[in-house]
Structure 1
């Protein structure tokens, strides 16, 4: 049995939002029978319920129960970096080698479509300001020649294959002058950068805002602190039994929106989806100090990433800390311990603005928005997929079960389009007529690498996950010996 740890460290996103839905239960008791049970109340579960409501023909929205093992949206969505940051170019060489140029572009365009889709959805619902949504530019800052060779090489490979007029490549640009690059990125020592469109959002507030809308429909029952312990196959009446500590629910359909924890109820995903752990901090900053979201890269492993929230918050969210954590990769590879801080990270983040940001005018060491214990620095578990792509679709050989999980630490520009793809499939299975809402038409078809086909699931069972973990650890240790990583801090040697 794989369930999330019940006492995770506190996160700024969650504590700062102070949502009244945090431990919400729509009813004292669970309903006996519903059309749909959604397991998981994060970004995937909330948008799944949202699209089921929006796709349903008028008056035909199915009844839904959303079950959450802990507090509402207390998992990866309440602990991530807040960047809505598509991979516009950086993964192109890898994806083109696996799927060809056209296949790689399909994945990139699906991710890029999330920028327009978020804007359309949040404007339609009047939520953009409430969830600190902002579109703009982001950068990959090369902090070493090794990083620049990789970043520029990826850009040039894509440009060579699709031409300068491609609707993706034209949105990317290079800054090759070191002075201009440092000025634009505001990162000390940046030698060059690649810039492309991106967005940012308060992810926890986004999910809670959607859930608040859904609760008003009367078709959604939200149940915090109610883990699904087991699920059955469909019985002779076409119903699935979901067992919880508070009783059983029968449903026509179960949607597994549990990301890293999918294998808890679907054992066939035990070798396919596993844990990774990240770390972030929330730092007080002058209003508008950082102009763009971005990431620092020293090599393919050592990085930091950051954004600044718009007023009235102005908080800088900084994550990664790989110059520190790379010295002990077991802290983040196949690690579920979100009840622990990474060793040494509070001091690392406190020194980051003065050490890395041009013209820092805040305090040194930096002042956290909250104490470490109250969410100023946190860790969180994300999912890692055995082939780096999510699993979206009907669960093979398991009628009535659907999955959207394994978003590989990159869910923000993947999930909304994935659940928009899944919603009409679920409604068709329920026999409910669907109409595609205009916001969902923004997305191109679901990329083939995302699809949870029987062939893909079976093929990946033979991959040696333990060998993959060891390779990640070994690669991290190689990076830790490079000059820009510096010596291992004493706190990691104790």
Structure 2
């Protein structure tokens, strides 16, 4: 099992940590995907496609090869197959389907808005800052709409919720209110609705600890991310049986440029080789392993995530999954985040925004400090009275789920702890677009290798081909800096349209140009920025 730790060695048999560590895991900053030693609560029971095509021979060729099977992969494949014309698409996954960051996060669809708007404005200008925030905000309604179209809203628990930022540090709350005013002034009607609550009013409204000094509430969302991704991929496999294949437990180890004997990229994997004119890198934090120019531009950060049984009084605070929270403790401690499942034991999905250096000695394992913090913080945040007595385990009504999880979860407050890697883009922005050959360090296949179809000839002797895609090359959407749920879907959607060679006039109205993959940006990012120097997203409320 490689780096895996057996369940008997884990104090919680299916735990991870999502308390983002402030110190990047530089030892794996350019490595291939590892086998994570902890099990995500989201992934039990496993989807039927979890280990699809994990044995046997690979297809020898595909029109498009996608590397990665998380939310980026699902969005890209869905757009490509539904908008394309008979393309043969193969998705390679190093481990099980959706076993990376998407299947290990908190299910939070809560975009940073006022938190870093002012900082973005200083760096990229007011117009681009507005566009970036609007892009993030658009993901909630986009994902709600996709879930409805797919008929999986209930199954994935995809819903809008009240999002509440809770502050425990007075200077930070004052700074947050100031940032909010700047944001609302500039964004006008596009800012959305926000309400501030101070002191006792905040504590009473949201049933919080007396330690809370204030709250800012707005609209947010929550979802079961693993079910969302695996449901979409499962449906695509049914609807496009000849066009779409997923090969799991197939680690891509290298990409070779075309030669005089083979006019395509050759991808070497743990199960053989496959050729293609298009390689799509959707591995987020692991992108630098196959695209070395991103080393130092996209860095890994390990986080700890938990699933916990709620205290018996907590429903008045969380509304059985109708609210999500972000807890801003102090500038030195960072922030934590919380969603709640709307069914079953109404588990609290609780993790944290950044963390002290890892104290785990096992690669991929959560640190003791992060696990201790996530395991004990919530009764402090909500207060003893609002938390109430500890809940007792209950038996799931769904026999299938009960059987799948029997003996896996702990019986106390904390059912599961797990950890996973998120990416940190050093300039605070995702990387979305085609990768120029100078950056990729590999020649692209010739134009003659572009997937095409025969069209009706103008004469009996003339045969013409119509290109089905843009010119061959490598493509990427990665570097979401811990905010993948409000960047990945539409970034990958846009990327698919680019690969298809479609008119991007409409896309350019909502996709920020600052996400583009250029030589200048790559050089500037590594030369100018260091890890943690450019805080992005919600971390910016601490830039006092």
**Alignment partner of 1:451 is 2:516:** yes
Contact 2:426 2:529 in 1 (8 A): no
Partner of 1:121: 146
Contact 1:296 1:304 in 2 (8 A): yes
CA distance in 2, matches of 1:257, 1:54: 19
Contact 1:288 1:310 in 2 (8 A): no
Partner of 1:4: 33
Q: Any stretches of 5+ residues in structure 2 without a counterpart?
A: 1-29, 395-406, 445-472
Cα deviation digits, residues 1-49 of structure 1 (max 9, x gap): 611222421111113x422222111773110111011111111112111
**Alignment partner of 1:348 is 2:348:** no
Contact 1:338 1:379 in 2 (8 A): no
Cα deviation digits, residues 69-128 of structure 1 (max 9, x gap): 111111111111110111121111111111222211100100111111111111111011
Instruction: State the shift of 1:161 in Å.
Output: 3.0
**Alignment partner of 1:22 is 2:70:** no
CA distance in 2, matches of 1:319, 1:100: 32
The change in CA–CA distance for 1:244 and 1:387 in structure 2 (over 3 A counts) is same
Alignment partner of 1:167 out of 168, 190, 194: 190
Contact 2:424 2:479 in 1 (8 A): yes
Contact 1:283 1:315 in 2 (8 A): yes
**Alignment partner of 1:294 is 2:317:** no
Alignment partner of 1:224 out of 248, 257, 260: 248
Partner of 1:484: none
Structure 1 length-normalised TM: 0.83
Look at both structures and tell me which one has the larger radius of gyration over its CA atoms: 2
Query: Alignment length, in residue pairs?
Result: 449
Contact 1:138 1:195 in 2 (8 A): yes
CA distance in 2, matches of 1:385, 1:200: 24
Q: Any stretches of 5+ residues in structure 1 without a counterpart?
A: 429-433, 480-494
Alignment partner of 2:476 out of 389, 403, 422: 403
Structure 2 length-normalised TM: 0.76
Contact 2:251 2:269 in 1 (8 A): yes
CA distance in 2, matches of 1:117, 1:7: 30
CA distance in 2, matches of 1:73, 1:338: 20
Instruction: State the shift of 1:186 in Å.
Output: 3.2
Alignment map for 1:256-335 (pairs within 5 Å): 256-285=281-310, 288=315, 290-291=318-319, 292-300=323-331, 301-320=333-352, 325=355, 329-331=356-358
Partner of 2:72: 44
The change in CA–CA distance for 1:83 and 1:470 in structure 2 (over 3 A counts) is closer
Partner of 2:206: 185
The SS at the match of 2:423 is strand
CA RMSD of aligned residues (A): 3.1
CA distance in 1, matches of 2:130, 2:298: 24
CA distance in 1, matches of 2:73, 2:264: 20
Alignment map for 1:242-253 (pairs within 5 Å): 242-253=267-278
Alignment map for 1:341-420 (pairs within 5 Å): 341-358=366-383, 359-363=386-390, 370-371=409-410, 376-397=416-437, 398=440, 399=444, 400-420=473-493
Larger deviation, residues 109-118 vs 309-318: 309-318
